[in-house]
């Protein structure tokens, strides 16, 4: 039984089951609104990376690395506030294979003798945001499943003669504390963008963070209302950026500069080049422009390249931001 072979009763029941369970893993607190995205203090690069993936899902996923208490999870859970058409579906570390991919509905099989598909987290995450906190601690067999699905956009479930296929196209967002272990290189490469975050260093910022958090915890509804206009403005800007995205042009000169940048840094493969190009296009759309500029390329490269370079065995070095900016500045001078 496969989606795409025509509507049938089993498929309709599967989609109904999926709809009924969409909120099982999506983060929400019915008693109070989430912390507003626009209320987050600092962390501009993290917020920018998340916004760009909301503008263009084609970019790929975002990995947020950093110490505890640096607003990683808060930012991700706040995304539906500025992109209401999307939910954040969380993948708990305790998830097993059946819960992730889905399985045969045993109740229907035993009671009615019918083979029905019980959707898993991947079905819920289709067209949504799949969030994995502490992604570096995810079991290897779950990582393997995620890799298969992120490549194909299709989830195939085969259990004891039962076969089912469904779409599983989502925006993958992961967060991790590098002190707790590294991420497998195969999965790391599937995150198009990487952001490293730290706690605020400036006294004024730290005070503002405390003030806002205390205000939110005291009265979440009143705090959310304080930022209602900012959230609405962000929603409108995202909408306009998505509409503009298809009209943004990227010149052959910019593409050549991207290729020059990645080859100069000995970056393997072509995934990084495409990530930079797609991110630069989204940046131009966010800035209200129809043409990608060199500044867009540089900002995109800083997000797309730090976790990609040709490595020797046991070499943990990453592309430095300084190296990226140095080459980008050289390209700008040559273009004048």
Question: Is 271 among the catalytic positions?
Answer: yes
Closest CA to 283 of 325, 255, 241: 241
Q: Which residues, in sequence order, are CB contacts of 46 under 8 Å at separation 6+?
A: 64, 71, 72, 75, 195, 197
Judge residue 89's burial from the number of C-beta atoms within 10 Å of its C-beta, 0-12 exposed, 13-18 middle, 19 or more buried: buried
Three-state DSSP state, 312: coil
Instruction: Provide the 3-class DSSP secondary structure of residue 195.
Output: strand
Please tell me whether residue 265 adopts helix, strand or coil conformation.
Answer: coil
CA distance 136 to 62: 14
Nearest to 64 by CA among 52, 76, 82: 76
DSSP symbols for 62-125: EEEEE-TTSSHHHHHHTHHHH-TT--EEE--TT--HHHHH-EE-HHHHHHH----EE--HHHHT
Q: Which two tokens stand for residue 148?
A: 């298969």
Catalytic residue among 184, 226, 271, 289: 271
List residues with catalytic annotation: 271
């Amino acid at each position: 039984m496969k989606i795409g072979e025509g509507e049938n009763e089993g498929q309709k029941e599967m989609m109904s089951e999926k709809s009924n369970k969409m909120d099982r893993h999506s983060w929400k607190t019915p008693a109070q609104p989430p912390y507003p995205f626009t209320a987050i203090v600092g962390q501009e690069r993290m917020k920018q990376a998340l916004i760009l993936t909301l503008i263009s899902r084609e970019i790929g996923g975002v990995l947020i690395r950093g110490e505890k208490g640096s607003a990683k999870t808060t930012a991700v859970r706040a995304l539906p506030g500025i992109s209401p058409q999307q939910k954040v579906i969380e993948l708990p570390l305790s998830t097993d294979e059946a819960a992730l991919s889905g399985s045969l509905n045993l109740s229907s099989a035993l009671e009615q003798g019918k083979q029905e598909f019980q959707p898993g987290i991947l079905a819920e995450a289709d067209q949504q945001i799949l969030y994995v906190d502490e992604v570096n601690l995810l079991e290897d067999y779950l990582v393997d499943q995620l890799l298969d699905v992120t490549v194909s956009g299709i989830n195939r479930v085969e259990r004891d003669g039962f076969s089912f296929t469904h779409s599983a196209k989502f925006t993958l967002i992961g967060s991790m504390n590098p002190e707790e272990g590294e991420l497998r290189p195969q999965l790391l490469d599937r995150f198009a963008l990487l952001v490293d975050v730290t706690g605020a260093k400036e006294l004024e910022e730290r005070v503002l963070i405390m003030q806002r958090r205390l205000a939110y915890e005291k009265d979440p509804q009143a705090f959310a209302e304080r930022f209602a206009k900012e959230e609405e403005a962000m929603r409108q800007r995202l909408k306009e950026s998505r509409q503009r995205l298809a009209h943004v042009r990227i010149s052959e000169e910019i593409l050549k500069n991207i290729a020059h940048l990645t080859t100069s840094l000995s970056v393997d493969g072509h995934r990084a080049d495409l990530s930079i190009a797609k991110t630069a296009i989204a940046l131009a759309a966010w800035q209200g422009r129809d043409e990608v500029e060199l500044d867009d390329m540089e900002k995109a490269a800083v997000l797309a390249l730090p976790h990609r370079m040709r490595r020797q065995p046991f070499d943990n070095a990453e592309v430095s931001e300084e190296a990226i900016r140095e080459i980008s500045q050289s390209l700008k001078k040559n273009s004048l």
